[in-house]
Amino acid sequence: MSNLTAMNEQNLQTGGELAESIAANPDAWFEKKFDEQMQKREDEHTPSMAIVVTKGTLDWAYPPFILASTASALGWDVSLFFTFYGLELLKKDLHLEVSPLGNPAMPMKMPFGPQWLQDINWNMPNALMAGVPGFEKVATTLMKKTVSNKGVASIEELRSLCLEAEVQMVACQMTVDLFGYKQDDFMPEVAEWVGAASFLPTAQKSDVTLFI
């Protein structure tokens, strides 16, 4: 018997067994095939995340860049849409400060001195923060020192890491025009200058969409 004839007989036998299996329990067969196709689709799918970035202070700069760099390290496709005050995070030179005013949950930490002093949360009343000249400068210095002591990357380092991981950084053109900015004010790596209507389809199709 030739190899071709043997293969044809084997295929006929396999086809007959498949037909018998389908006839015996068609619902179970179709359910199995559906599960297999869905699992294949999930295995081939690349997760994606879209973040709308609206804050421009030092403390609020960390969440989007940490989430973006982490997701990109996991192999996700990530897009960040910087609008309103979030555009500050795309400037060539970052001069970010902390604004504890109106944020009573924010603990003030002493990054120096004995450990018992560093463990105290110095929650400051808004009236004090608003009335003391230069309080934001002090808070910014303390936070930067705390971040450095804990070995946490700076915003500049996190942003560079995101760019290396090909995170898409998109600027809101409407806000640029609103605040009188020029594109030259921002880093050259900005992927696009678009409006909300152009970014919404990206957010709609993403597996995870966040507003920060």
CA 74, CA 29: separation in Å to the nearest integer? 35
Residue identified by tokens 């949950």 is 105
Question: H or E element: which one contains 79?
Answer: strand 77-82
**Of 59, 55, 57, 159, which Cα lies nearest the Cα of 109?**
59
* Per-residue pLDDT, 10: 56
* Per-residue pLDDT, 6: 47
Residue identified by tokens 């199709």 is 205
Q: How does pLDDT run across 134-157, given as a tens digit for each residue? A: 667 877 787 888 788 888 899 999
> In terms of CATH architecture, what is 48-211?
3-Layer(aba) Sandwich (3.40)
Residue with the bigger pLDDT between 144 and 41: it is 144
Residue with the bigger pLDDT between 102 and 153: it is 153
Q: Is the pLDDT of residue 209 over 80?
A: yes
Pairing of strands 48-53, 77-82: parallel
- What is the residue-averaged pLDDT of the chain? 80
**Confidence band for 4, pLDDT divided at 50, 70 and 90:** very low
Q: Is residue 10 within 8 Å of 41, Cβ to Cβ?
A: no
Residue with the bigger pLDDT between 38 and 118: it is 118
Phi and psi (nearest 5°) for 150?
-85, 0
What is the 8-class DSSP label of residue 124? -
Whether this model's pTM surpasses 0.75? no
Q: How does pLDDT run across 157-195, given as a tens digit for each residue? A: 999 999 999 999 999 999 999 999 999 999 999 999 999
3-state SS assignment for residue 48: strand
Q: How does pLDDT run across 61-98, given as a tens digit for each residue? A: 999 999 999 999 999 999 999 999 999 999 998 989 88
Ranges of each domain in the chain: 7-44, 48-211
Q: Is residue 64 within 8 Å of 80, Cβ to Cβ?
A: yes
